[in-house]
C-alpha cells in the first residue's frame, strides 16, 4: 500500500463499491432511504479520501496571514514605544507577543488536518480500506 498519493488497489476498491451501490435497485421506500444514506456516506468517504490524497490546501490565504503578522508587529511595536522602559513591561510585552504567536501558529496548524504538529495521521483510514480488501 502506498504511503503517499493514490493507491490504485484502494482506488479500484472504492470505485467498485460506488458502482455497486449505484447499481442497486430498491424495491420499497425503506430500501430507497437506505440506498440514499449509503450513497451519501460513500460520497463523504470519497471526499475524505481525496482530501488525504491531495493534502487539501489550507483555507487561510498567505496574503491574509502576512497582513495579520505585519499588523500584530506594528501593534506590539506601538505598545513597546508607548510603555515606560523597564524590565517588567518588556517581559509582559514579550509574553503577550509569544502567546499571540503561539495562537496564530495553532490556528494555522489546525487548518491542515493531515499534517503539521497536531496533524491526524491517515493510517486509520488506510488500514480500514486495507481491511475492506480482505
pLDDT at 113: 67
Instruction: Calculate the CA dihedral of residues 110, 116, 120, 124 and round it to 10 degrees.
Output: 150
Q: Is residue 67 part of a domain?
A: yes
Mean pLDDT, the chain cut into blocks of 10 residues (134 residues total): 66 88 91 92 88 71 90 90 89 92 88 72 75 75
pLDDT at 128: 78
Q: Are residues 76 and 52 in the same domain?
A: no
Q: Is residue 33 part of a domain?
A: yes
The pTM (predicted TM-score) of the whole model is 0.52
Tell me which residue range forms the domain holding 35.
8-56+121-133
Distance CA 94, CA 88 (A): 10
pLDDT at 114: 63
Q: Is residue 3 part of a domain?
A: no
pLDDT at 42: 92
pLDDT at 5: 60
Q: Is residue 1 part of a domain?
A: no
Distance CA 59, CA 64 (A): 11
Q: Is residue 51 part of a domain?
A: yes
Q: Structurally, how many domains does the chain consist of? A: 2
Q: Is residue 79 part of a domain?
A: yes
CB proximity list for 21: less than 8 A, separation 6 or greater: 35, 38, 39, 42
Amino acid at each position: 500500500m502506498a504511503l503517499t498519493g493514490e493507491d490504485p488497489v484502494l482506488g479500484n476498491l472504492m470505485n467498485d463499491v460506488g458502482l455497486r451501490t449505484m447499481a442497486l435497485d430498491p424495491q420499497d421506500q425503506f430500501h430507497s432511504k437506505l440506498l440514499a444514506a449509503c450513497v451519501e456516506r460513500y460520497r463523504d468517504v470519497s471526499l475524505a479520501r481525496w482530501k488525504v490524497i491531495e493534502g487539501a490546501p489550507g483555507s487561510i490565504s498567505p496574503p491574509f496571514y502576512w497582513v495579520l503578522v505585519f499588523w500584530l508587529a506594528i501593534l506590539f511595536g506601538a505598545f513597546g514605544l508607548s510603555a515606560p522602559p523597564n524590565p517588567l513591561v518588556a517581559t509582559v510585552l514579550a509574553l503577550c507577543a509569544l502567546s499571540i504567536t503561539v495562537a496564530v501558529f495553532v490556528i494555522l496548524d489546525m487548518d491542515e488536518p493531515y499534517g503539521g504538529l497536531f496533524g491526524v495521521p491517515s493510517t486509520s483510514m488506510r488500514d480500514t480500506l486495507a481491511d475492506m480488501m480482505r
